[in-house]
Amino acid sequence: MKIVIMIQARRGSSRLPDKVLLPVLGKPILSRMIERVLQSRYSGDLTLVTTTDLHDEVIEELGVNSGIQVYRGHPTDLLDRHYQAARILNADAIVKIPSDCPLIDPSIIDRVIGYYLQYSDQFDYVSNLHPATYPDGSDVEIMSFSALERAWHEASLPLEREHTTPYFWENPDRFRIGNVLWESDLDLSMSHRWTIDYWEDYLFIRSIYEKLYPNDRCFSLNSILKLIEEQPELMEINEKYVGVNWYRHHLGELKTIAVNQTKSLREEKC
């Protein structure tokens, strides 16, 4: 089975422009993330998927300089970007990891992929997000090519195209969905924020790298938790954004759509 891990990245960001190029220990934060993902045992076909926008040429150059494959596609239709890259690369399974997860632990990537491989005859899509128990910023999703292709054909809502996988989550009757919980049985998804969307997130992530990277280039999730336990003031850096999540933000939009669809069906019956 050919597994292609895809890191999605672009320079455009309404909340924190050029966040993937912010420096961490002398390199762009995206380069540091690529270093971590390359530690996965399944990283042989790691691919950076960016956009065809001219200002994302620097993203392509960064990927090439990191020694990984690069695919450039639709600027806003991320579902199309993932699908076209998967089709060109002849992927049997696609792993989606957003570039706003620069602290991603390679062992988490391996665990989610390993679970999918073990039960590939039972699931079309597996993630560690539904429900999420890992700290926010540990996102790993894997899906079969056939499932991705079906979503590509059928998904129509803007958020489904922009974020690639909501169509899977919102249609459990159409896809066999699996989830990997954190083995510690703790739920840190609402108390720890390790993703990057705001300046304070960057300051937090940079601090983690500065404190752990010099002694351990592939520091783990547990190493971060130990550091935070020893230096709890680190969590204060971006604590005002803990719990802020794009999907929860869009839930209201999804509910409104569902209500309108139900109303429309009732009117048709009348």
Please report the DSSP string for the chain in residue order: --EEEEEE--S--SSSTTGGG-EETTEEHHHHHHHHHTTSTTGGG-EEEEESSGGGHHHHHHHHHTT-EEEEE-SS-HHHHHHHHHHHTT-SEEEEEETT-TT--HHHHHHHHHHHHHTTTT-SEEESBTTB-SPBT---EEEEHHHHHHHHHH--SHHHHHHSSHHHHT-TTTS-EEE---TT----TTT-B---SSHHHHHHHHHHHHHHTTT-TT--HHHHHHHHHH-GGGGGSSGGGTT--HHHHHHHHHHHHHHHHHHHHHHHH-
- Report if residue 269 sits inside a domain: no
Q: What is the pLDDT of residue 228?
A: 95
The pLDDT score that the predictor gives to residue 266 is: 36
pLDDT at residue 116, rounded to an integer: 97
Sorted by sequence, the CB contacts under 8 Å of residue 164 that are 6+ apart come out as 8, 78, 79, 82, 96, 151
- pLDDT of res. 147: 97
What's the confidence (pLDDT) of residue 183? 76
The Cα 92–Cα 31 span in angstroms is 26
**Is residue 235 a part of any domain in this protein?**
no
267 occurs within a structural domain = no
Taking the C-alpha atoms of residue 171 and residue 251, their distance in angstroms, rounded to an integer, is 14
CA distances from 229 to 70, 95, 204, 226 (A): 38, 31, 14, 5
Q: What is the pTM of this model?
A: 0.89
Six-digit token string for 195: 């993703």
Is 42 domain-assigned? yes
- For residues 22 and 152, what is the distance between their CA atoms, to the nearest angstrom? 32
Determine the length of the chain. Answer: 270
The answer as to whether 232 is a domain residue is: no
Residue 19's CATH number: 3.90.550.10
Q: Beta strand 27-28 with 141-144: parallel, antiparallel or unpaired?
A: unpaired
* C-alpha closest to that of 131 among 260, 248, 19, 263: 248
Q: pLDDT per position in the chain (270 positions), as tens?
A: 999 999 999 998 778 989 999 999 999 999 999 999 999 999 999 999 999 999 999 999 999 999 999 999 999 999 999 999 999 999 999 999 999 999 999 999 999 999 999 999 999 999 999 888 899 999 999 999 999 999 999 999 988 999 999 999 899 999 999 999 987 766 666 678 999 999 999 999 999 999 999 999 999 999 999 999 999 999 999 999 987 765 545 545 554 444 444 344 334 444
> Residue 38 falls within a domain, yes or no?
yes
User: What is the tally of structural domains in the chain?
Assistant: 1
93 found inside a domain: yes
- Confirm whether 251 is domain-assigned: no
* Domain region containing 66: 3-197
User: Cis bond leading into 131, ω under 30°?
Assistant: yes
Q: Which residues pair with 23 in a beta bridge?
A: 28
